[in-house]
Amino acid sequence: MSKLDKLQTSVRLSIVNPKSDSSSVFGRGIANLCKGVRDKGSLNAAAKSMGMAYSKAWRIIKDTEDSLGIQLLIRDGAHGSVLTEEGSALLDIYLSINEKISQETLELYEELTK
C-alpha cells in the first residue's frame, strides 16, 4: 500500500439552512472571504487577496446571507466591513469543526492504510 501512503484526505464541510430553497451554503469559499474581512477589515481587500472581483464577493456574501437567514457582514462603505456577531460566531464554529474533521479523517486514513 505504499502508493496509498502518499495520498491525503480532503473533507468539504458546509453549513446549510435546511429550510432554504437556495443552494448557497457556508463553506470553504465564504469562510475564506469572512476570514479575510476579519483579518483585513474590508470585503474589497479580502476579495482582492483571493483574486476575486469585489462584485463577485458581494454577490456571494449576499446570496449566503439570504440562504442562511443571517447577516454576516456590516458594510460601512469607504470604512470597510466587519463581521457581525453571528457572522463571527459562525466563522469560528466552521473553522473549529473543519479543523477537527480534517484531523480525524487524516488519522483514520493513516490507520486504514497501514
Percent of the chain topping pLDDT 70: 99
Residue 8 phi, psi dihedral angles, 5° rounding: -130, 160
pLDDT beyond 70 at 11: yes
Query: Can you tell me the mean pLDDT for 69-93?
Result: 93
**Mean pLDDT, residues 19-44 taken together:** 95
- 39-68 tens-digit pLDDT: 999 999 999 999 999 999 999 999 999 999
Q: What angle do CA 66, 83, 41 make, to 5 degrees?
A: 125
Give the three-state DSSP class for 15. Answer: strand
pTM metric for this prediction: 0.90
Q: How confident is the model at residue 1 (pLDDT cuts 50, 70, 90)?
A: low
Q: pLDDT band for position 26 (50/70/90)?
A: very high
Q: Cα–Cα distance between 29 and 57 in angstroms, integer?
A: 10
Q: For the chain, give the number of residues.
A: 114
The chain-wide mean pLDDT, for the chain, equals: 94
Nearest to 73 by CA among 87, 60, 59, 63: 87
* Average confidence (pLDDT) over 7-29: 93
